[in-house]
Amino acid sequence: MERHRFKITEEDAGERFDRCFANRLSDVSRSRIKTLIKEGHAQYNGETLDEPNHRVKPGDTMEITIPAAEPAIPRPEHIPLNVVFEDDQLLVVDKAAGMVVHPAAGNWKGTMVNALIAHCGDSLSGIGGVRRPGIVHRLDKLTSGLMVVAKTDLAHRSLSRAFADHGRTGKLERRYIALVWGTPERSRGTIHTNIGRKSEQRQRMAVVAEGGKEAITHYQFLEPLGGEKDGAAAPKADAIASIVECRLETGRTHQIRVHMAHIGYPLIGDPVYGSGFKSKMEILADDARTAVLQLNRQALHASVLGFSHPISNESLLFESQMPIDMKIIVDQF
């Protein structure tokens, strides 16, 4: 791995970010530099910047990391997978939090794809692309829960159509359990917005007034945490947190995390969108505070996954219980 850091001079004023690097790194092509910037390997004034055409200013600093060469094709790795269903067309995996789904910049090894190649052998070859064999949808690295993986081209085409259509004309059900700060004012509701990348922080998503993509999340309050409980399945105004079920009608990047934060109830442990995290922590009992600090991820779990089998057309429905790290938090509130 090579790291190069430069200070921008007066001669660079108004120059493109990628061209500035290319002018200084004669042994690296501009197209390679552009790719590295888009993959998040470059920083501008200490912050990641993935826009090659950004115009630089004198006195600012820029830095780029050139990773060591990696094999173009993911290699099999014998990593344990929790397979809850498998036949000759597909398999359903209960993904652990912390596992990246497919190889990308900074995560070329130890991914679910590496594990799947070892588990399935040559049967995944070429299905869905070299870097994403069999993958028809994904979960964030720090989100746990159910995923379906295609083992044949036929299954990949069928499942990809279902996910692209969001189940509007066929069977597709995706439900998540989330632990959120506060308690929604209504027992259930629908969040319907557009979601796009933040202009100033391209790694983050946000609700946007113009552009972006349509995003629809249906949520339902399940249980208060930390407030007075009387057994009724209704929000409690004094609850510190809540268990909420979210059902996706679309599948945008970080959709549930962005939507719940947008209506004022960010996910517990969310390092990016959990704006109320620190203030809420101060009023927790010691055991609850410790449980939250030990979570080290957003409290989000893909608990229900349903779809039609691509060959038999049989309705398949899978459920996964709340994982232990989230359950510990619930027990301590």
Q: Which residues are catalytic?
A: 140
- Contact between 189 and 244 under an 8 Å Cβ cutoff? The reply is no
Is residue 160 helix, strand or coil?
helix
What are residue 115's phi and psi, to 5 degrees? -70, -40
| Cα 320 from Cα 313, distance rounded (Å) | 22
Is residue 281 helix, strand or coil?
helix
- For the chain, the 3-state helix, strand and coil shares in percent, each to the nearest 5, are 25, 30, 50
| Cα 222 from Cα 233, distance rounded (Å) | 6
- Contact between 262 and 191 under an 8 Å Cβ cutoff? The reply is yes
E runs forming strands in the chain: 2-7, 42-44, 47-48, 61-66, 83-86, 90-95, 144-150, 172-181, 188-197, 205-208, 213-225, 241-248, 300-308, 315-319
